[in-house]
C-alpha cells in the first residue's frame, strides 16, 4: 500500500492550504476545505475498512453515506498543513446512519473536522445535484472581498455586476454571478442551509462581513474562482473613492460573454 502522504489528494490539499494562507485569506485557524474523494483511489493508500474512531456530525447527510472526504480540522492553522498533514487533515467517510463521520486517517492529535462541515456537506449535496463533477468546497476570508461587503450594496445582481466590471475575465470565469448572504452566525446549520440554497444557482457565495464559499471540480478550480473574485474586489476597493473615467459597460460585457460562449446571467445586465 502506498504512502498516503504522497497521495495526490493530500499533497494538493496541503499545497493549496499553504497558498491560501500566503495570500492572507486564512488567518489563524480561519477557513476550511473539503474534497470529495474517489474511493478506489483512496484504497491505494488506506485500508478503508479500518475505522480509527467515529465522530458525530450533528447533521443528517444520508444522501452522502459511504462517500469519502478529505477535510481540514477544526482549530487548525492552514500554515501548518504542509508540514504536518496527518494532524491538520482527516479522511472521513459518512457512515450508514448519515449522521456520523468515520475517521479513516488523520487528526492524529485527537482533533476533529472543521466546525463548518455541515455547511460543506450541504453545499456538496447542492452542487452534486447540479454537476456531479464538482467535488471541492472551499471557504476563506479574502481581504478585499470582505471589505467590499462593508461599502457595497449586498444585492447580488449589483454585487455581481460591479465585480464583472472590474476585470475583463470576470464574466467569463463566473458567468452565473455571485450569490450573497447577509451577516449570519457562522458554524451553524442555518447558514449552511442558506449557503446550499444559493449553491443551486452559484458556484460562489459571499458571506457578508465574513468571507466566501467557492466550489469546483478540483482544488485549482475552486481556488481560481475565489482568486478572480478577490482580484476584482481589490480593484473595486482601490478605485471606489475615485472618479471613474472608464469602465466595462454592459454592452461590452455581453460581447465578452458571447464571444467566449458562456451562459451568463442576462438579467444581471442593464441591456
Domains of the chain, residue spans: 1-114, 116-271
CATH code, residues 1-114: 3.40.225.10
What's the confidence (pLDDT) of residue 59? 86
Please, what is the Cα angle at 37 between 105 and 181, to 5 degrees? 105
- Kindly state the DSSP code that residue 17 receives in the 8-state scheme: H
Residue 171, number of CB atoms within 10 A of its CB: 28
Q: Which three cell numbers stand for residue 144?
A: 478585499
Quick one: which of 108, 143, 174 has its CA closest to 23?
Answer: 143
CATH number of 116-271: 3.40.225.10
What is the rounded CA–CA span in Å between residue 137 and residue 215?
5
Provide the annotated active-site residues: 116
Q: Tell me, what's the pLDDT at 58?
A: 86
The model carries a pTM of: 0.95
Predicted pLDDT of residue 1 = 76
- Which pLDDT score, from 0 to 100, does residue 39 have? 93
Burial 179-218 (b: 16+ CB within 10 A, else e): bbbeeeeeeeeebbebbbebbeebbbbbbbebbbbbbbeb
Q: What distance in Å separates the CA atoms of residue 253 and residue 269, rounded to the nearest whole number?
A: 8
pLDDT-flagged residues of the chain (< 50): none
Amino acid at each position: 500500500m502506498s504512502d498516503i502522504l504522497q497521495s495526490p489528494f493530500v499533497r494538493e490539499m496541503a499545497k493549496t492550504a499553504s497558498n491560501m494562507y500566503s495570500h492572507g485569506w486564512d488567518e489563524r485557524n480561519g477557513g476550511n476545505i473539503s474534497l470529495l474523494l474517489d474511493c478506489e483511489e483512496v484504497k491505494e493508500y488506506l485500508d478503508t475498512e479500518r475505522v480509527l474512531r467515529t465522530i458525530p456530525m450533528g447533521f443528517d447527510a444520508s444522501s452522502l453515506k459511504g462517500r469519502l472526504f478529505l477535510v481540514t480540522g477544526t482549530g487548525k492553522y492552514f500554515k501548518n498543513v504542509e508540514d504536518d498533514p496527518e494532524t491538520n487533515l482527516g479522511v472521513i467517510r459518512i457512515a450508514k446512519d448519515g449522521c456520523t463521520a468515520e475517521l479513516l486517517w488523520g487528526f492524529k492529535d485527537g482533533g476533529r473536522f472543521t466546525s463548518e462541515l455541515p455547511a460543506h456537506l450541504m453545499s456538496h449535496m447542492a452542487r452534486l445535484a447540479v454537476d456531479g463533477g464538482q467535488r471541492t468546497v472551499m471557504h476563506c476570508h479574502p481581504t478585499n472581498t470582505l471589505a467590499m461587503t462593508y461599502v457595497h450594496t449586498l444585492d447580488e445582481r449589483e454585487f455581481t455586476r460591479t465585480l464583472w466590471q472590474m476585470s475583463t475575465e470576470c464574466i467569463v470565469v463566473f458567468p452565473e454571478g455571485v450569490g450573497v448572504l447577509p451577516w449570519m452566525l457562522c458554524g451553524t446549520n442555518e447558514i449552511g442551509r442558506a449557503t446550499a440554497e444559493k449553491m443551486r444557482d452559484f458556484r460562489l457565495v459571499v458571506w457578508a462581513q465574513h468571507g466566501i464559499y467557492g466550489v469546483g471540480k478540483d482544488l485549482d478550480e475552486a481556488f481560481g474562482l475565489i482568486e478572480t473574485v478577490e482580484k476584482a474586489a481589490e480593484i473595486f476597493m482601490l478605485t471606489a473613492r475615485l472618479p471613474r473615467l472608464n469602465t466595462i459597460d454592459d454592452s461590452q460585457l455581453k460581447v465578452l460573454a458571447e464571444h467566449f460562449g458562456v451562459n451568463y446571467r442576462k438579467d444581471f445586465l442593464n441591456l
